[in-house]
Structure 1
């Protein structure tokens, strides 16, 4: 599969910014009303807040790039088209049982499953960026927030946990493809368009 330069760059930027967010989340401390905050952990929280805006900008740029081209849009969101949705269901029924037997078709053959996973990841990153931005705008300096913002904060935390599963699963699947000789990492991270 051939990836355009803009897609490769946005994928790398999204990957790096999302990983930075997941790592910063492990060391930050969210302010809470009436509780002292560790200075370093509070600083990391500030970096996490800024990084969330960067993730949102990259995710929106990625979405704009993808939604601008029919081929890219239908590759990442095949369930939006009735014919592609039917093909996706067929692909799922054919391919997923083989995964449990060690059979992993090349991404070119399972392109709708792979595309759907990438599309869902892009939506997840966008959702995290949006909910994080709402929290940033609705949280007081001491960490206090109205009930609606607190609900969005809980959604943000749920999406963050989901993102951990996504990243680990995505990485494991990419490594399995590499082991099978499908060279997915070279195709995504190199500028060589001869594939």
Structure 2
């Protein structure tokens, strides 16, 4: 982990789209003391900052997403949360994480399936989908391309100026 100051700037544009658009959602989900995940970015001029800032879902929070890819032979895949989810990172899953058993024939066709699930974070901040339930099966699977999001870290919102659209996250791992 690079050595940088432990308080990092984040801007309105660094939040998930739903939090960018809705002040009430920001007030509810980004209060002082809120645990967040973020990606550390270096900028050419000035200190590093936090991007892809999102609240850590509570144990019972339900997220909606679409199966991005799935390997029927390995039984593992990734789910991408829907655009308006406050949690935006792709989540790893195993076919055993589905709350009801899915037959081999259907399991081979999981790509594009819309599902709801809970999020469990691993110690390194990666998300895993748990208690997955199928919401709908697609007529055909949709393609989505993966991209690298950098280093994911945990932090706590220290201040957030709702009217100005910026705040600071404290990340002890960086200090």
Q: Per residue, is there more helix in 1 or in 2?
A: 1
User: Per residue, is there more strand in 1 or in 2?
Assistant: 2
Higher relative contact order (CA 8 A, sep 6+): 2
Please indicate the TM-score interval, normalised by the length of the shorter structure.
Answer: under 0.3
The alignment's TM-score, normalised by the length of structure 1, stands at: 0.22
Structure 2 length normalisation: TM-score?
A: 0.24
**Larger radius of gyration, structure 1 or 2?**
1
